[in-house]
Amino acid sequence: MPERYDDRPDRARGVARRRVLGIGGALGLMAATGLSASAALARRPSFTGAELRSAVPLPPPFQVPLPIPSVLAPAGTSGGVDRYEITQREATAEILPGVRTPLWTYEGTFPGPTIESRRGRPITVTHRNELPVPTVVHLHGGRTPAASDGYPTDLVLPEGRHDAATHTGHGSTHDMHDPRAVVTKLTRDYTFPLDQRPALLWYHDHRMDFTAPAIWRGLAGLHIVRDDAEDNLGLPAGRRELPLMLTDRAFAADGTLAYPALDPTLRERPGVRDPYLAGVLGDVILVNGAPWPVHEVDAARYRLRILNASNARHYELEVVTDDGRRLDLVQIGADQGLLATPVTHRLLPLAPAERHDVVIDFSGVPVGGRVRLVNRLGSGRTRDVMAFRIARKATDDSRIPRILSTDLPTWRRSDAVRVRDFSFRTGRMRGDHGWLIDGLPFDPARSDVTTRLGDIEVWRLIADVHHPVHLHLVGFRILSRGGGPPLPHDAGLKDTVSLRPGESAEIITRFDGYRGRYLFHCHNAEHEDMGMMANLEII
């Protein structure tokens, strides 16, 4: 039996200070507040959040061509380290035809430029902040030393606003001082060793309290790690490998992105207005920054590397031909790279921050035909995601090997040196609505989880509503869901697990790589900003 580790003293102090009622394991918390897991399960809604309505006319679907974010060229190489430079700045883009939308961007585009790296070949990225607010960059899914992981108070201050120092924006009465924060002026170098499995990662802003609106305004980009073994598998490649970043947005009458921030300057007061406290959804679906785009394809296999970069929207993806046939989604990879063997789906759920690597075979669709990528959880216009138009017959020498990878960790329950429980649920935070982990809102100064480098642990997570739970630094495997076996799309190595309303899940991981201060949090970006984050210290 694994020894049970309990860091209750830290938490008990925090609870007393914040007058939060109810302490104990995840199930105890739910019982104390009258929400039973089975009641939540019975009501299980298909989404968590509220949808904003755009105030401009929306284009018809499948007219705008799918953009592919440009791949960033290194500014130089020295000592085997590729050096990249990214300027964070305001820019204007024509997202909806004829509508000009101001954005916050990496290098002037949304999504930002894609970085393509090789496993084990380190890179540095120099970020320069020319935005009107502090920023901090996190490489999601990266196995990154703590100093470059983008801790939410490790801010890069913009010109002329060096006052923000190490105070976060909880409003004048609630300033939190984080003595460990490393704050720089204007620029910061982030170092990524990339000693990790090849995978689709993404980089995004991670500023304390303001991550959700910053991503919403455009601060997100892709990062693809590759290696020779994966290149040699014969998977669809080149033009037939498409990264797809899914986001939803809403547009105000003046063309700006609508967002219900309490403080539209995104400087002082975090959080969003009622009724968006559970998450902000938009009524326009963007793929790589384009509304309901269309892409011309060969009648051949394509590899789609799909990221849900939406703040709160969940997808249940389905691929449908115009004559009503459903095509298989052959999943070859998860958040942290290739599966051991392919898994065939008809319907593929995708929570915020999750990635699925899938192969779709268009060879059975007649030339001139159309195939739609549909979100079964959407309604009306948000049911459509994008379309593929089959442009021509083509030869196809790609393949999907029966064995994709042999290096997945095989941690067993009995390997774990401890088990921890965490509840993810709604509660009060500083007198307001908040989202809490084990009854507590995020505090950079508190110690939540401390573990030793190399330890294997089982974490039992339980949710009230949808909570996609993400761990920094490590990938994990999903051991169980709701007391039963994992779902078919839970295979492989994950860094985000989607808990559905009332659901519990067990994950197992080894805290490996680097020592230092990391995080785990809900990746519903509004929940994350409203408290649902905790410290993960590896010693």
d(Cα 436, Cα 425) in Å, to the nearest integer?
6
> What is the closest distance, in whole angstroms, from the C-beta atom of residue 90 to Cu ion in the complex?
25
Q: Give backbone dihedrals phi and psi of 424, rounded to 5 degrees, phi first.
A: -120, 105
- The reply on whether position 521 binds ligand C2O by CB under 6 A is yes
Name the binder of 519 from Cu ion, ligand C2O, none, CB < 5-8 A by kind. ligand C2O
- The reply on whether position 207 binds Cu ion by CB under 5 A is no
What are the structure tokens assigned to 129, written together? 């902040």
Q: How far is CA 316 from its chain centroid?
A: 16
Nearer to ligand C2O, 217 or 470 (CB): 470
Name the binder of 353 from Cu ion, ligand C2O, none, CB < 5-8 A by kind. ligand C2O
Alpha carbon distances (Å) from 279 to 195, 443, 484? 34, 21, 28
Q: How far is CA 409 from its chain centroid?
A: 22
- The reply on whether position 527 binds Cu ion by CB under 5 A is yes
- The reply on whether position 280 binds Cu ion by CB under 5 A is no
How many residues at the interface with ligand C2O, by CB under 6 A? 10
Nearer to Cu ion, 458 or 532 (CB): 532
Q: Which window, 18-26, 328-336, 448-456, 516-524, contacts ligand C2O (CB under 6 A)?
A: 516-524
> What is the closest distance, in whole angstroms, from the C-beta atom of residue 173 to ligand C2O in the complex?
27
- The reply on whether position 524 binds Cu ion by CB under 5 A is yes
Interface with ligand C2O in residues 344-383 (CB under 6 A):
353
Nearer to ligand C2O, 137 or 416 (CB): 137
* CA proximity to 94, closest of 294, 283, 286: 286
Nearer to ligand C2O, 332 or 519 (CB): 519
Q: Give backbone dihedrals phi and psi of 276, rounded to 5 degrees, phi first.
A: -100, 10
Nearer to ligand C2O, 54 or 211 (CB): 211
Q: Could you tell me where the beta strands, DSSP code E, fall in 382-455? A: 384-393, 418-429, 432-437, 449-451
Q: Which window, 18-26, 180-188, 279-287, 518-526, contacts ligand C2O (CB under 6 A)?
A: 518-526
> What is the closest distance, in whole angstroms, from the C-beta atom of residue 397 to Cu ion in the complex?
36
8 A C-beta contact, residue 262 and residue 271: yes
d(Cα 413, Cα 477) in Å, to the nearest integer?
11
Q: Which window, 214-222, 251-259, 288-296, 462-470, contacts Cu ion (CB under 5 A)?
A: 462-470
Q: Which window, 220-228, 300-308, 367-375, 515-523, contacts ligand C2O (CB under 6 A)?
A: 515-523
Residue type, 177: H
What are the structure tokens assigned to 198, written together? 């090849």
Name the binder of 521 from ligand C2O, Cu ion, none, CB < 5-8 A by kind. ligand C2O
Nearer to Cu ion, 299 or 536 (CB): 536
* CA proximity to 330, closest of 357, 307, 299: 357
Q: How far is CA 493 from its chain centroid?
A: 15
Residues 6+ apart with CB under 8 A from 47: 279, 281, 312, 313, 314, 377, 466
> What is the closest distance, in whole angstroms, from the C-beta atom of residue 147 to ligand C2O in the complex?
16
Nearer to ligand C2O, 26 or 139 (CB): 139
Nearer to ligand C2O, 301 or 523 (CB): 523
- Class of residue 362 by CB neighbours under 10 A (exposed 0-12, middle 13-18, buried 19+): buried
Interface with ligand C2O in residues 195-224 (CB under 6 A):
204, 206
Determine if the peptide bond prior to 57 is cis (ω within 30°).
no
Residue type, 163: D
Interface with ligand C2O in residues 123-152 (CB under 6 A):
138, 140
Q: Give backbone dihedrals phi and psi of 294, rounded to 5 degrees, phi first.
A: -125, 145
Write out the DSSP string of 294-321.
EEEEEESEEEEEEEE--SS--EEEEEEE
Bridge partners of 433? 428
- The reply on whether position 527 binds ligand C2O by CB under 6 A is no
Indicate the pairing of strand 315-321 with strand 370-375: antiparallel
Interface with Cu ion in residues 111-170 (CB under 5 A):
140
> What is the closest distance, in whole angstroms, from the C-beta atom of residue 271 to Cu ion in the complex?
14
Nearer to ligand C2O, 96 or 522 (CB): 522
Out of 143, 197, 249, 472, the only residue in the binding site for Cu ion (CB under 5 A) is 472
Q: Give backbone dihedrals phi and psi of 12, rounded to 5 degrees, phi first.
A: -60, -40
- The reply on whether position 522 binds Cu ion by CB under 5 A is yes
Interface with ligand C2O in residues 230-259 (CB under 6 A):
none
The residues that touch ligand C2O, with contacts defined as CB under 6 A, are: 138, 140, 204, 206, 353, 470, 472, 519, 521, 523
The residues that touch Cu ion, with contacts defined as CB under 5 A, are: 140, 467, 472, 522, 524, 527
